[in-house]
Structure 1
């Protein structure tokens, strides 16, 4: 499941088999489902049984492979796939290419999920664009929403940092961000 996208019909069949086993159904005999399948798939701490939703689990495992391709550049798998499918870019900007293997097609299906979940860790901020990249410590978008658009669209986060003190340039932060964002940034660096 971590290398191949299972067909939806197979996932549905497996889920059906698990449900039938759990509820004790045999042949055409129907039993009462005392709890919805979605409730059974919730974590035990929430009253469920922690059953896996097979389609989502498959996508999560494929996204994990995609994340490894984006971050672990020393692995043999990375080197082989990079040479074959994305020699001039990174995993996030890779395309399907010509005559792709089923493994590559499967991992690439999870590429949007990897993109959606990524955000920068600030560090020195030289590679992070203030307006374009996800870098803020909030769960909504991780992007800047601000009235202070007096900076160029390609301005980097490092220009908001005083490197000698490893702190934010608060004069610039106060002029650039909404007050609620200023408060969140004060404790983030």
Structure 2
């Protein structure tokens, strides 16, 4: 990720205003591969600064932005302001929620209809295999290597609704046992046993729900270990605000994705241990630094305050 495309134009401008939750870290843009996202408040002056900076970038680098492929997205902007901005930015007007690399960019609750494309992809792929004469071992291998991997990218960035997970697993079960649509009574072993490792008597298929949670814990690890990335710094600046990931309160007004991530804490908390160094990065109350921790599970904030300590 980068944020140096038009930062100088912003610093020299007296009229540019940062988008909410971007000012402290001076986040102007995010780059991924050859794609560029630029964030700003929905006003004419901000649009003018952005276009001037893009023109300067074109003159300095010799690279020309692809205007026909560029899109402007608006949220809570008056219609006359939109028109004024689009007269400065000759971009097409996009609709929210937007998708990037096939994944919806939303902060609200992820619904089944947002993920139906995953079920359709699995159904189409399995439909291509139905007419082929495949052994049970062949069907098992296809389920392992192809169908179970189709939703990995989604599962690494979002918690997939259980309805979608159930639909995909139903397709896998039908193909595995019936070489087509699942029929009651055809399954020889329960699905939970099928998903066990082979050395435990299963067939080694992934449980999509468990695998989804496992992928999401990598984000928790990045936050707790303070990995050097723009997203982690943004989380610490605007989400945690001096708190640790373990002691921040769960609130109803939090975004759906952030709330879901916080709800995983009870699953992963026992496996995150703090190695004591100089003590500056360890929380006496909330971190796991001995087998009796975290101490906050034994002592209430009132107990700690009564003893003259602070959280």
- TM class by shorter chain equals 0.5 to 0.7
Distance 2:202 2:268 in 1: 27
Taking structure 2 as the reference length, the TM-score comes to 0.38
Q: How does 1:22-101 map to 2 (within 5 A)?
A: 22-24=176-178, 26-27=180-181, 29-30=183-184, 32-96=186-250, 99-101=253-255
* Alignment check: 8 A CA contact 2:171 2:182 kept: no
Structure 2 unaligned regions, length at least 5? 1-154, 294-302, 305-311
**CA RMSD of the aligned region, Å?**
3.1
Taking structure 1 as the reference length, the TM-score comes to 0.59
Give the corresponding residue for 1:166: none
Change (3 A) 1:7 1:70: same
Distance 1:128 1:105 in 2: 22
Structure 1 unaligned regions, length at least 5? 137-141, 145-152, 155-189
**Which residue of 162, 178, 192 corresponds with 1:8?**
162
Measured against aligned partners, the alpha-carbon deviations of 1:67-94 in whole angstroms (never above 9, x if no partner) come to: 2111124211111122221112122223
Give the corresponding residue for 2:269: 115
Change (3 A) 1:132 1:3: closer
Deviation at 1:98, TM superposition (A): 7.3
Once the two structures are overlaid, the 10-residue window that deviates more, 93-102 or 41-50, is 93-102
* Alignment check: 8 A CA contact 2:175 2:181 kept: no
The number of equivalent residue pairs is 140
The higher relative CO (CA closer than 8 Å, separation ≥ 6) is in 1
